[in-house]
């Protein structure tokens, strides 16, 4: 079943407390090469059948209205993944 | 310590018939504090009306409280799914209408109001990432709103703060606008408990009928049960709106 993947990230200027906590934990496991971490969200919208332009447009609209809050988040990626 | 209801002065004089005031309290799946909010409404001398998120009838209420909790488990973002409830559409329309329905959002209710765009900005996780529950000192920055007119400007009050996603954020332009237009309703005094921008605890819309804040006034309405086991600092929210409804602006 084809999926539409939507990736949402906090805007760069918004502090990401969870990302900071993860960044603090990485060196404790020996991962010392990473300066910072930012955590985002990945949504997978499953489509029964072909992903038409109309369905993709709906996904983009859903991404901007429900899946993200434009005050604090950016939709950074919307793409179709065929299995 | 015994307490009789209502806790405040007698509002039943001929000029201030308040027994008829009806204040709605909305319940979503996962709301926790609707019963406390309804109790606060009654303590102030009004009738509490339960509103169900999936209904579309505002039942002619004179004001609405959107209480705290974890509606929809805070899934997606706190308040994000509740914002699209049929009852919220009605509340948003009524708040923006000429009648300017007074709306108070507490904690998760505040998050629902920002997701609904009735109030600017948003809440993200506390900067220290922990759930925090404490008696919180606040300063009343704006006592001209429907929900704060009973306070003195600059008055310091103590009510309960309890949340995990309490860090108020907005872009610098919005923060400047809120301060310039006196729309910061409450500030945290002393330690900033969650990293909120400019120590903002609560804000109001331009008209002053919509107020949202993270701390919980409904948990500080009865002597013997509030902060320090004596605080009734929160009751003034609920008496203020009654004053507002009878046209008794300060």
Considering only A23-32, B62-71, B225-234, which range has the smallest mean pLDDT? B225-234
3-class state of residue B33 by DSSP? coil
The whole-angstrom separation of Cα A6 and Cα A53 is 15
The answer to whether the Cβ–Cβ distance between A72 and B169 falls below 8 Å is: yes
- Residues 6+ away with beta carbon under 8 Å from B39: B48, B218, B221
Residue B208 confidence (pLDDT) above 90: yes
The whole-angstrom separation of Cα B41 and Cα B240 is 11
Banded model confidence at residue B108, pLDDT cuts 50, 70, 90 = very high
The whole-angstrom separation of Cα A49 and Cα B31 is 38
Q: Output the pLDDT for position A12.
A: 93
The DSSP element (H or E) to which B241 belongs, if any, is helix B235-245
Q: Output the pLDDT for position B118.
A: 97
Q: Which CATH number fits domain A3-81: 3.30.1280.10, 2.40.30.110, 3.40.50.2300, 3.40.50.300?
A: 3.30.1280.10
**Chain A residues within an 8 Å CB radius of B167:** 15, 17
The answer to whether the Cβ–Cβ distance between B129 and A21 falls below 8 Å is: yes
Residue ranges of E strands in chain A: 3-10, 40-46, 73-81
Q: Output the pLDDT for position B106.
A: 98
Choose the closest CB to B121 out of A18, A66, A71. A71
Choose the closest CB to B125 out of A13, A18, A71. A18
Q: Output the pLDDT for position B223.
A: 86
Nearest CA in chain B to A22: B129
**Residue range B106-125: average pLDDT?**
96
Domain locations in chain A as residue ranges? 3-81
Considering only B3-17, B51-65, B189-203, which range has the smallest mean pLDDT? B3-17
**Chain A residues within an 8 Å CB radius of B120:** 71
Banded model confidence at residue B1, pLDDT cuts 50, 70, 90 = very low
Residue B190 confidence (pLDDT) above 60: yes
Choose the closest CB to B80 out of A13, A18, A69. A69
DSSP single-letter state for residue B152? P
Tell me the average confidence (pLDDT) per consecutive run of 10 residues in chain A, 83 residues long: 96 91 93 96 95 96 96 96 83
Q: What sections of B97-211 are H helices per DSSP?
A: 108-115, 172-180
Residue B113 confidence (pLDDT) above 90: yes
The whole-angstrom separation of Cα B105 and Cα B137 is 19
The answer to whether the Cβ–Cβ distance between B124 and A72 falls below 8 Å is: yes
Considering only B14-23, B49-58, B100-109, which range has the smallest mean pLDDT? B14-23
ipTM of the complex: 0.80
Residue B5 confidence (pLDDT) above 90: no
CA B56, distance to chain mean position in Å, is: 21
Q: Output the pLDDT for position B2.
A: 43
**Residue range B94-103: average pLDDT?**
97
Q: Output the pLDDT for position B4.
A: 46
Considering only A58-67, B3-12, B22-31, which range has the smallest mean pLDDT? B3-12
Banded model confidence at residue B158, pLDDT cuts 50, 70, 90 = very high
Residue B221 confidence (pLDDT) above 90: yes
Give how far B69 is from chain A: nearest CA, Å.
Answer: 20
The answer to whether the Cβ–Cβ distance between A17 and B76 falls below 8 Å is: no
Residues from B contacting A (CB-CB < 8 Å) are 76-77, 80-81, 84, 114-115, 120-122, 124-129, 167, 169-171, 195
Q: Output the pLDDT for position B225.
A: 78
Chain B contact probe: residue of A16, A20, A72, A75 with most B CBs at under 10 A: A72
Chain A contact probe: residue of B169, B177, B195 with most A CBs at under 10 A: B169
Residue B214 confidence (pLDDT) above 60: yes
Banded model confidence at residue B227, pLDDT cuts 50, 70, 90 = confident
Choose the closest CB to B125 out of A13, A17, A69. A17
Positions of B marked catalytic:
107, 216, 218
């Amino acid at each position: 079943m084809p999926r539409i993947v939507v990736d949402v990230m906090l805007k760069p200027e918004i502090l990401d407390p969870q990302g900071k906590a993860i960044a603090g934990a990485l060196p404790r496991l020996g991962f010392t090469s990473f300066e910072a971490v930012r955590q985002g969200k990945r949504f997978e919208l499953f489509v029964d059948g072909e992903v038409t332009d109309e369905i993709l447009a709906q996904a983009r609209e859903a991404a901007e209205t429900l899946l993200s809050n434009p005050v604090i988040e950016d939709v950074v990626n919307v793409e179709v993944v065929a299995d | 310590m015994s307490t009789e209801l209502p806790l405040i002065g007698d509002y039943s004089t001929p000029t201030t018939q308040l027994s008829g005031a009806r204040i709605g309290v909305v319940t979503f799946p996962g709301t926790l504090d609707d019963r406390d909010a309804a109790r606060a409404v009654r303590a102030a001398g009004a009738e509490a009306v339960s509103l169900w998120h999936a209904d579309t009838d505002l039942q002619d209420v004179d004001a609405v409280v959107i209480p705290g909790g974890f509606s929809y488990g805070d899934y997606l973002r706190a308040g994000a799914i509740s914002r699209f409830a049929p009852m919220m559409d009605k509340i948003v329309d009524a708040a923006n209408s000429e009648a300017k329905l007074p709306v108070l959002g507490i904690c998760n209710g505040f998050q629902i109001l920002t997701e609904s765009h009735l109030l600017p900005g948003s809440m993200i996780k506390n900067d220290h990432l922990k759930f925090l529950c404490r008696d919180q000192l606040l300063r009343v920055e704006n006592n001209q709103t429907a929900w704060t007119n009973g306070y003195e400007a600059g008055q310091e009050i103590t009510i309960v703060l309890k949340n995990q996603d309490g860090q108020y954020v907005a872009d610098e332009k919005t923060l400047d606008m809120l301060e310039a237009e006196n729309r910061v309703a409450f500030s945290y005094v002393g330690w900033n408990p969650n990293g909120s921008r400019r120590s903002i605890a609560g804000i109001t819309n331009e008209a002053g009928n919509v107020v949202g804040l993270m701390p919980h006034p409904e948990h500080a309405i009865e002597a013997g049960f509030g902060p320090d086991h004596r605080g009734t600092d929160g009751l003034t929210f609920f008496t203020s709106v009654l004053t507002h409804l009878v046209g008794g602006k300060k």
